[in-house]
Amino acid sequence: MNPENALLWEVSLVEFVIVTLVIGGGLAFAVGRSSARSWGGWSFLVFGVALLTLAIRFLHFSLFHGSFFLPPATFGTALHYGLVDFVILLAFAAAGRVTMRSAQMARQYRFLSATERR
């Protein structure tokens, strides 16, 4: 398998979609919902996404022969794709947090939306 080394994906578009968007995006959405459900701050969300980014980079490394942070020769490449993964996963987590927080607010402050229905 020849690496394509595009701006967003390292090995191929298919592995990027499967690992980063489907697996990582689903997990990041759950991290965002968890941070909203526990009424935690954004710092918990960023920390959780940073840990998830390390796990996703390891999946890229172990399954598809991508780069990882440990060999110093591939640190720059791994840092680039790690930042790409982090930004994408942070967007999924923020969407999960906003979705859950909106549901919490609608459930908690139901009287606010009752005036709009009339």
**For 36-40, 43-47, 72-76, 86-90, which range has the lowest pLDDT when averaged over its residues?**
72-76
Residue boundaries of the structural domains of the chain: 13-114
- The answer to whether residues 91 and 52 touch, using CB atoms and an 8 Å cutoff, is no
* Tens-digit pLDDT profile for residues 45-82: 999 999 999 999 999 888 888 888 777 887 888 888 89
pTM for the model stands at 0.83
* Tens-digit pLDDT profile for residues 8-28: 677 778 888 999 999 999 999
